[in-house]
Structure 1
């Protein structure tokens, strides 16, 4: 799971990141509203933890812009404003939940888990598409009943494709999702790992699911009538 945290209080931001990484979440961060909006607009996150009072663009504006552009990523607002009016305004802007500062870390994690559960279509942690399946709790991928024995990055690639099945994903989107904005690797690494993933799928005659969209990126799509 990849989480975006947008918070201008650097010590608080670092504390949240440390806690999330202990929970095995992948985390990207931003200290400003403009950068936060740009990152959120990539549509690559499972959830966003968002401060309301930010430089350049506030959290309310960010969420409104996201929803206007059909970015449906769940958003948890963090704010020191605790009036009913402020909470209503935050939720009406398009946020999914609202946590008042200061907060307890267990509550932050619990609220995040709720958002992620609401986002999932498969409550048992299994995703499937045609012959392809992944088990999120074990980070395993299967073709039929055959374990694909995926590396970490191969699993993350397959998971991202399956969450966005039949949608064209550009290379930059895939790179930012799997490797992150701060990665020193180049975008070309996407093609390398897609090649590795295809080879493992080909062992079980499933490589046709992973299609190249020339000049753009890739798409997970089964044969017509097969999925």
Structure 2
């Protein structure tokens, strides 16, 4: 079976998940939000009072963790942690930095790497994260680095949180985004960076429809009109 692998990387709050999910639906591909996978491990550490920055403690707990992806009829990805649906819980603001911390540990990355690659072997996928094009799927047919200014990302995040009934001050959200950017860029294992053969897509001045049109145009051009 011939499959197409589309890797979308970029910083937190750039709109990767929303755009990738929508594009996957239009193309009939499986959408894989790898950030949600790391958030699930971060959530486990958080709820079990494990310091997410403590590599030894986090790695030691991995045998107790079963992470599964499930997809509803609408194609939306749900995250299961030891059989429990934690899709909503992992989106709490405090889990973002936990996810960033645990994703820096080699043991965690190795634990989750084969799960991600197996999905890409079995399906045509749009997979988004921080290191998909550089580490997870280095041979992906299409690589895109999706970004926007920290200020634009903070505004979008504030709107998202407000819509969920969890409003946060703009200054706090911006600080968390800048902190996560620094952590992701400077971590020693699989840092956030644009792959040499990735197309840069900056959505700072684009609305959702314009961003999606640009994304689909790149995908179709690079995948031979798939």
Instruction: Please report the TM-score for the alignment, with normalisation by the length of structure 1.
Output: 0.32
Instruction: Please report the TM-score for the alignment, with normalisation by the length of structure 2.
Output: 0.32
User: Which structure is richer in relative contact order (CA contacts within 8 A, separation 6 or more)?
Assistant: 2
Q: Which has the higher strand share?
A: 1
Q: Which has the higher helix share?
A: 2
Which is higher, the Rg of structure 1 or of structure 2?
1
